[in-house]
């Protein structure tokens, strides 16, 4: 039986890689739905190759172009963000792969879970911003979330077969990014182009900057809390530049389980689609003798303050992670366009966290409002810098 997949965000870095995974296993996976916000040309090209039933152009201004190209091929074409939420209701979808970027991933995720779809989740913001709501919706609808992010995929795999065995702690590994070992003075000088040179992983611009600031790891700690129900005090981050150990779980009896593998997103994407089965692929196997050693060190939270801010947001809970995410999005954008320096990113986020109204149990509307207000506030503090 072929699994029919809906890929939301098919033109991004995880989306395109997912299509490679699907293409390499034609007996196991089919493409039922493709959606993309930008890049209509690539969306059209992907649809011609993979022949989905439905395509959604998230951005309505691309509808006409996509419709004209795909309607003659008997592919249904819709447009707009509401259509993305609705399309995941389709009976014919076995699994959703959510790879859209940013906060806009939340609504389609909730819609997929309410429709009891298994979701391979690559969107970080939905869990960072509204983890409580997402976790609750998944439980209520008995819908399963399979993480795509390499660290969470590792933890998920370490927990397979553990039943109710309690977890002592979770350790997330981080490469440390391109600025590992630099001081605050050195960081003062870094430019966007330097931040975009990630030593190991190839990703989109936003997440690559987040890796350089360590915010990405802070987000991953928040995600891990909601995915695996582990107390914030029992989540740690360790720097491991080779990115071979993808994360670890410590158990009560002193046993530590880790998942190792080559640093290639093909592997966690394939597992999130094939779960609970494992499928072969053509990647070169991990060669430990060639690696010789694996290094580990403590993260530098004095010079990379975003990581500490993320843990603070996780511990405070409520709408604070939403504030963290919104302020970070504006600050990273400002850094990419050279309006602010690297060290100002945490300054802007901290200011927003200190001056926003705390909401203990936010509703979806509260999250949307917090997101909007924080963006305004962050833009305001950009003007004052």
- Which parts of this chain interact with Mn ion (CB under 5 A)? 149, 151
Helix (H) or strand (E) holding 256: strand 256-260
The DSSP secondary-structure symbol of 30 reads: E
The distance of closest approach from Cβ of residue 75 to Mn ion in the complex, given in angstroms and rounded to an integer, is 33
Nearer to Mn ion, 149 or 329 (CB): 149
CB of residue 322 vs Mn ion: minimum separation in angstroms?
A: 20
H helices of the chain, in order, are 13-23, 40-50, 63-70, 81-87, 106-114, 125-140, 150-159, 184-188, 192-195, 205-213, 215-228, 266-274, 288-291, 305-316, 320-336, 344-355, 364-383
Given a contact cutoff of 8 angstroms between Cβ atoms, the answer to whether 223 and 124 are in contact is: yes
Residue closer to Mn ion (CB basis): 100 or 378: 100
Least Å from the CB of residue 232 to Mn ion: 18
Cβ 383 to Mn ion shortest distance, Å: 33
Q: Return the number of the residue (63 or 179) whose C-beta is nearest Mn ion.
A: 179
Contact 23, 113 (CB under 8 A): no
- What 3-state DSSP class applies to 378? helix
278-287 LR contacts (CB < 8 Å, sep 24+): 279/25, 279/28, 281/24, 282/24, 286/244, 286/260, 286/261, 286/262
The nearest distance, CB 171 to Mn ion, in angstroms, is 14
Q: Cβ 380 to Mn ion, closest distance in Å?
A: 31
Q: Which is nearer to Mn ion, 149 or 264 (CB)?
A: 149
Q: Indicate the length of the chain as a whole number.
A: 385
Is the CB of 4 or the CB of 328 nearer to Mn ion? 328
Cβ proximity to Mn ion: between 85 and 210 the closer is 210
Report the residue number whose CB is nearest to Mn ion.
149
Whether 304 contacts 186, CB under 8 Å: no
For the CB of residue 217, give the shortest distance to Mn ion in the complex, in Å: 8
Rounded Cα–Cα distance for residues 356 and 54 (Å): 41
Rank residues 151 and 264 by Cβ distance to Mn ion and give the closer one: 151
Residues 6+ apart with CB under 8 A from 156: 146, 147, 227, 228
């Amino acid at each position: 039986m072929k699994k029919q997949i809906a890929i939301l965000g098919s033109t991004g870095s995880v989306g395109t890689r997912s299509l490679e995974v699907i293409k390499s296993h034609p007996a196991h996976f089919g493409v039922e739905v493709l959606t993309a916000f930008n890049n209509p040309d690539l969306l059209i090209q992907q649809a011609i190759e993979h022949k989905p039933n439905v395509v959604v152009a998230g951005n309505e201004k691309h509808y006409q172009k996509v419709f004209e190209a795909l309607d003659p091929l008997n592919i249904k074409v819709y447009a707009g963000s509401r259509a993305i939420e609705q399309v995941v209701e389709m009976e014919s979808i076995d699994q959703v792969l959510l790879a859209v970027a940013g906060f806009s991933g939340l609504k389609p995720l909730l819609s997929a879970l309410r429709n009891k779809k298994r979701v391979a989740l690559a969107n970080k913001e939905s869990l960072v911003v509204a983890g409580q709501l997402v976790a609750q919706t998944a439980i209520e609808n008995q819908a399963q979330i399979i993480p795509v992010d390499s660290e969470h995929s590792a933890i998920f795999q370490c927990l397979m077969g553990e039943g109710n065995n309690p977890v002592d702690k979770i350790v997330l590994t981080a490469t440390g990014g391109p600025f590992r070992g630099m001081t605050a003075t050195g960081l003062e000088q870094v430019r966007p182009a330097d931040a975009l040179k990630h030593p190991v992983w190839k990703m989109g611009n936003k997440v690559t900057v987040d890796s350089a600031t360590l915010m990405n790891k802070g987000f991953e700690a928040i995600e891990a809390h909601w995915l695996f129900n582990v107390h914030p005090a029992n989540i740690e981050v360790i720097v491991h530049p080779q990115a071979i150990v993808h994360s670890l779980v410590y158990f009560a009896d002193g046993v530590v389980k880790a998942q190792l593998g080559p640093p290639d997103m093909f592997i966690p994407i394939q597992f999130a689609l094939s779960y609970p089965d494992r499928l072969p692929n053509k990647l070169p196997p991990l060669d430990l003798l060639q690696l010789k050693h694996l290094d580990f060190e403590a993260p530098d939270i004095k010079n990379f303050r975003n990581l500490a801010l993320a843990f603070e947001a996780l511990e405070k809970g409520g709408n604070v992670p939403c504030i963290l995410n919104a302020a970070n999005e504006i600050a990273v954008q400002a850094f990419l366009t050279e309006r602010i320096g690297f060290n100002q990113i945490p300054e802007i986020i901290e200011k927003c966290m200190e001056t926003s109204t705390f909401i203990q149990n936010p509703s979806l509307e509260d999250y949307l409002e917090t997101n909007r207000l924080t963006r305004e506030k962050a833009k305001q503090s950009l003007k004052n810098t």
